[in-house]
Amino acid sequence: MSTVLHTPPQHPAPTPADHDLAALAARHGLSVSGARPSLPEYVRQLWARRHFITAFATAKLTAQYSQAKLGQVWQVMTPLLNAAVYYFIFGVLLGTKHGVPDYVPFLVTGVFIWTFTQSSIMAGTRAISGNLGLVRALHFPRAALPISFCLQQLQQLLFSMGALVVILLCFGVPVSASWLLALPALVLQFTFNAGVSMIMARWGAKTPDIAQLMPFVLRTWMYVSGVMWSLDQLARNNHLPHLVKVALAANPAAIYIDLMRFALIDSFHASQLPAHVWAIAAGWALLAGVGGFIYFWKAEETYGRG
């Protein structure tokens, strides 16, 4: 019997020539191709491309319905048709409209605001995996893609808000100063959406199959977010465990939906909102926005490879 000894492979030590090349590159401001920049530098690069982000979002929005005869009208018609279906199924057949004042404005506001979050997250999931040609061809901070898709969805929501205002007025909801609260609510929701989109963009870049799973996850999330019914009534009329009530009250999608209802619908009172609702909304926006951005940045050099 003879014994064969296996020794681990030895990596050659850096030679003086390697050090000379590294020093030469540093002296002339050269860096490793595709290397992740520092976080402050990454933010600076992203800000420098803010015009690209805006133009890319606008171009995607314009092209979205370019093949349809009604064109951009579908930006408003799609959420309105969804609201009509939900009204018939949940409001009429299941009776969720009972006990909810101004149910149609209540429902349409919930559908529009939920669609903003849903579409942003779905678009973010495919932001890298669906744009590999662009990612591999051009050098730019990859966070520009999920952010631009969220901006596209915000622009689409703003188009839809015109129809929402008409619906509110047609159902007797008066214009009031509280409508101004819609602006900070949308800013917080956009920040939250962008953060979650960046998290999903990183996951989707590594595992594209996540895009096939997300519709089921988002549909479940929608059902517990009070889009079609009042979570306040659900919590008061049912003997739910305390933890379930806390989870429903802290659900970020429900928080942003109810903040918009509170801003726009005079029959939706502050008593129907969770305690410290603005602090919770800001906390979710900060956690998702900053955390999602850093999480996405940490994998910057891996996007478009493999």
* Most distant CA atoms of the chain, gap in Å: 95
- Write down the domain spans for the chain: 37-302
Tokens of 114: 């939920």
Whole-number Å distance between alpha carbons of 113 and 211: 21
Non-local CB neighbours of 29 within 8 Å, separated by 6+ positions: none
Q: Where are the alpha helices (DSSP H) in the chain?
A: 16-27, 39-48, 50-64, 74-86, 103-125, 132-137, 144-170, 182-206, 210-223, 231-237, 242-250, 252-264, 277-297
Q: What is the pLDDT along the chain (306 residues), one digit of tens a residue?
A: 444 444 555 555 556 555 565 566 566 655 555 678 899 999 999 999 999 999 999 888 877 766 655 556 666 777 778 788 888 888 787 777 888 888 899 999 999 999 999 999 999 999 999 998 888 888 889 999 999 999 999 998 988 888 888 889 988 899 999 999 999 999 999 999 999 999 999 999 999 889 999 999 999 999 999 888 888 877 776 677 888 888 888 999 999 999 999 999 999 988 888 889 999 999 999 999 999 999 999 999 999 875
Name the pTM for this structure: 0.85
